[in-house]
Amino acid sequence: MNFYPVPPIIQAELYVRVPDDIRCLGKDTEWRGGFARQFQHIFLEGPVVDYLGNLYIVDVPYGRILRIDPAKAITVVARWDGEPNGLAATHDGYLVIADYKQGILSFDPSNQKIKPLITRRHLERFKGPNDLIVDSQGSIYFTDQGQTGMTDPTGKVYRLLAGGKLETIVENGVSPNGLVLSPDEKFLFVAMTRSNQVWRLPLHSDGTTTKAGVFFQSFGNAGPDGLAIDEEGSLFICHPSLGSIFVVDSNGIPKARIVSGTSGINLTNCCFGGAENKTIFITDSLEGNVQKVDWHCRGARPQPRLRGMSSTPEYQPFLKYSDDPAAEETTPPQHPVKRRTTVLSHVLVFIATSLVWGFVVFLIVPSPIPTSSTQVSASTHPTILENHLAGIRHNVTSGRRLINCGNSTEEAKAQGCKYDILLNHWVPGPCFDKESVDEYRDDNSWGAFSDINMTHRLTIDEMSNRDFYWTSIRDHINHCAIMWRRQFYVLFDERRAMDTVVTSPGHTEHCSQYLMDVTEGMFKEPTKTMRGFAELSQTLHTFHVDEASTINTTDQPTAEAGPTVTSIENSTISHGEGLGLRFMASIFTDPDLRRNNIELLQLLARVPSAPEPAIQPCGLPTNEDGEFLFEKYLSWSHVQSPFLRRDEVKSLSGRVFLLVPADQPASNHDLFRAFMILAVGAVFPFKNGTHTQHPEGYYLAALQHMGSDFLTRGLASIQDLLLICRFGIYHRIGTSGSNAYFRLHPVLTSLFEGTSIWDVIRLCGRLCVEQGLHLNENPSSNFMQAQMERRVFWQFYMIDRYSSTLLGKPFSIDDRDIETSFPADANDEDIVTANQSSRDFVAFRLSHVTLVTTEMTVFFTSVRLRQISSRIHTEFSRLARNYFESSQSHFAPGYIYTTLSRLMQELQHWRDDSPVFQQPKCLYESQSWYDLLLAREQLYLVRRAIDLVPKRDRKTPRHICILCLRTALRTIWTYSTLCQQRPLITHTRSYFHMMFTAGLSVLFCVSTATKLEKEDISDASAGLFQCEETLRDMAEQLPSARQYAAVFEALRRDTTRKLNKILDTLQSDNASQNTGPDNVSPIFRPSSSDRPSNTLRAPDYLVLGSRGSSQSNILGANLDATLQEDNFRGSITNNVAFSFPVERVVPGDTAISLSSVRDNYAALEVSDDFSPRSDLFDWAFLNDETLWNMESVLGEYVYGDPDRHIGALDAFDFQ
């Protein structure tokens, strides 16, 4: 019963109709909507409008997401095997999907990938999710409708908290459908379709609900569907069977009825959007069109900013201020001419301020030393410098002592800091600019609100104690104006208090970009501002700026040159610069090394090069052994590198070992592949003693069957070369032209004499380009052919990126020249089955969604990591070239730290997204493997940053040095732990290079850091001992690596002596206990039983929480349980800001005595009659780049020409 007058009727108008070429005409679907009208091969629901005006909707029967841009162009952005009903945007720019068939999914608009978010509850699948929303805290509410109704009132409403906990709010729903929160988020409205009702549920602070009631009662064949709400609290109730949207106020009183503007009546869902968020977009599902209505006020929720669709970051570490929200509505729109004038004025202000501010930064920031590297012609908009990074940049480059306000309100108060409402930061007392704050407060234009609707205004005390608050656009503009004025005071009014927000060039850039975006209507309120804790530079002084070397910019590529040509022509192939190697020079040029380590350095000249074993080609093994090695290949190498078809490998095994008649021997190509698979498959069994034939015997036998048509077999030729590369990771692939069987094959001599993996992979790249595998051409109708082309290309990409990065050589193909997509995430048998009913591989790849791991899972994970390492190389090459000229050098530190932070976060996101295998069958499926890859890439990234970061007095800034130290230690401990998990892992030259580099990085950090805490020194010493131990073990399997292990031992001994001198000073009470030739403190001298050979012990900051922990940090995810140790406390917090550990118990090494040194001599095959003092060492080599380029020489040892490194250690010689 309703005694209120009939509300006004508003007729919607057609916005856009999905054209027939977008509809799935003639395609069958299992989904049935149960409607009486004619089905038109489309059914639209779930509208969401982003801040750019793009409208996203789902096509339920065909598992698609459509995007309608402001020009009404329609694009299919995702397709999968699902039945999506609802869409909602998350705060981090993803779209979450309520999929009736698959559960709750996540869609990334930046790469158009669909991933499962939550598909089961207590191992049971949901009934059929229908709709979902996201609240201001990031929690997801969704309805689980299924086929519930009046006779089966078991529909559910769930809440998925941001931390991952799933809560049940309603268990007796009568077909729960659409849902929406009140503007203050105190009430949840849920449409109960089969009971023709809308329920109203109060939400309590403890997450429960009571006194749920019927808010709206209707009638008709079907009840309410989608819901929406405006900023006034009016509820919009879509009712498909009545062809209406009923609008009622917050008390349920009718306000309006919106009716269809076309012949369709299935108005299922609606949402707010448009330029001012005052347009209601309505899906007419069955007709396949969208209608719209202009409304008098805005929607309760701002339009979301989606990933990949925004040029302006959503959240900034600088304050976004607000005044009375109602005042925004009274602001008339600007005339276009005035808007252009405003934009120009902002640009001029930005240019003027940047020039002035750049001048002062130029005075206080040292110019970095440029390095030559790959030029990237494409410019990108720099990421805005985050506040904590601004503080680090200020600290490490200015040479001034900073006062810190801690990381909490309590710490800030204890340090005497004051809360600055202008900055939304706690700032040190001397930095508090009372004049600016008073001016800001007296104007009474500032405002901060606790909720997204800006209904509750906060006091200053409340602001200071909250992690974030909401504010509007107008105050942000006021904030920028006062901040620029404060910068002027710092520069010209002798006000020398400089906080880290004021000193950040990124803030000026942020303000100017923000103002221009606001003027163009690209930024919507409210905005969210995070509280910070600033640092203060107490004094202001300048220091000398290192003179920057000029960069040769001549011989630029022509306009016609493609990205790959540009990259190659502008690459420097020297090993010393730009690759994270140059900083090692300081280790080897230390004159103290020559005084204190004569014995072992003299020893280096006496270490003989290990002779290579005389391996001859062998024949095929027995059928049993052959099948065993083939299966080993499939269960190990194929998991990470599936560039061969699994069924073809099995078929090859049958042809070679089982089905070959005596009078019909296998073909040369079959024998080549068989021997190569045997060679790769025999690597582990040979090293662990379960197979007697050396893998190189199989490899040499394979070369005898290459044939003259080796490079003319199309895709098969690339696959054969990739097999050689895979084997080359474990054994040398170069040949000697003096061997008779190579002289019989000129093609072998020309291809493989002195060949390296890098040479072979470049040949692969040429063949890939010739065959067009890098292009996004229409794939073959043969699904497996199209799949294999992609698998082969991305396998080439993966090896090319790793080998080229390691050697500092140009990539075979630039990322910008790559158009082809990833292979389908499906097993081979699924692809073959799908090919029987379809000929569209692209459609299959986009639509196939698997909720379990496939044989492509590890491969995708590895390729994505190589894409990040490619970006690391590209980004730092760009920084080295673009920002190290004298006119740009003052911007370099900010860009370096911003790039470092962003790429660290990308690596962490990669680790967070890595797959989990409940029962790992090989190394590539273990979580420790992903931890190791993360640590290795982070170490490479930090070393690239160290090469470029400005230094004072040749000292690396402490923050970046500590980051490098801990990343290197993490690499050492992670690999050392993996070595205990045999037969999962075996030593290779690549692993040796990684450990050698990590050890050198630790040596560098403790040798050049401006200041180290006692705990860091202890950790470094323990890590160096462990690294030496592991390198020594590796040298037993890799005889050619013994010289490198001996070099590291020399450097470690010298560094240990220095560390103990420092510790003697710090622990003078223990000085009398120091004994032995290395003068090692007893704190580092446990018994041999304490050596890290059984249970490894790592500092606690190297051991992170469980996977999925809410506390992410740049050093990655967890290590295995073997690294957990209660004796170590403390942790690294997020992103380059460290909390130093305390109370460390340091694992040590055996006592280093003269006898133990001589034992090491014996292990290194040094004769007993060697006298350490028999000769004098020529120390001139310490100034030679041969030694400090040791790591690059080792790079050639791993992926370069196997003969180039021979003689590289001859510099270690006596005169």
Coil vs helix vs strand at 876: helix
Query: Which helix (H) or strand (E) is 273 found in, with range?
Result: strand 267-273
Query: Which helix (H) or strand (E) is 484 found in, with range?
Result: helix 473-492
Residue type, 41: H
Tell how strand 425-427 and strand 532-533 pair up: parallel
Residue 326: count of CB within 10 angstroms of its CB: 8
What residues contact 657, with CB distance under 8 A and at least 6 apart?
Answer: 620, 623, 626, 627
Query: Which helix (H) or strand (E) is 74 found in, with range?
Result: strand 74-79
* Cβ atoms of 1024 and 594 closer than 8 Å: no
225 annotated as a binding-site residue: yes
Active-site residue, selected from the candidate residues 50, 144, 225, 625: 225
> Rounded to the nearest 10 degrees, what angle do helices 892-912 and 387-398 cross at?
130
**Distance from C-alpha of 996 to C-alpha of 1047, rounded to nearest angstrom:** 10
221 annotated as a binding-site residue: no
324 annotated as a binding-site residue: no
625 annotated as a binding-site residue: no
> Rounded to the nearest 10 degrees, what angle do helices 1014-1037 and 958-978 cross at?
40
Coil vs helix vs strand at 259: strand
Indicate left, alpha or beta for 424 from its phi (over 0: left) and psi (-120 to 50: alpha).
Answer: left
- In angstroms, the Cα distances linking 825 to 363, 849, 856, 984 are 54, 8, 6, 25
What residues contact 1091, with CB distance under 8 A and at least 6 apart?
Answer: 1029, 1149, 1150
Burial of residue 614, with CB atoms counted within 10 A of its CB: 0-12 exposed, 13-18 middle, 19 or more buried? exposed
Residue type, 1040: S
Closest CA to 845 of 819, 867, 820, 822: 822
**Distance from C-alpha of 583 to C-alpha of 875, rounded to nearest angstrom:** 19
What are the residues facing 100 on neighbouring strands? none
- DSSP for 1044-1085, written as a single string: HHHHHHHHHHHHHHHHHHHHHHHTGGGGGG-BTTTTB-GGG-
Catalytic site includes residue 720: no
**Distance from C-alpha of 144 to C-alpha of 158, rounded to nearest angstrom:** 8
- Residue 951 has φ and ψ, to the nearest 5°, of -125, 145
What are the residues facing 259 on neighbouring strands? 11, 244
Closest CA to 320 of 483, 487, 439, 534: 483
Residue whose structure tokens are 């498909």: 240
Compute the half-sphere exposure of residue 598: CA atoms within 13 Å on the CB side of its CA. Answer: 12
Residue positions in the annotated binding site for a divalent metal cation?
45, 177, 225
Catalytically annotated residues: 225
- The annotated binding site is made up of 45, 130, 177, 225
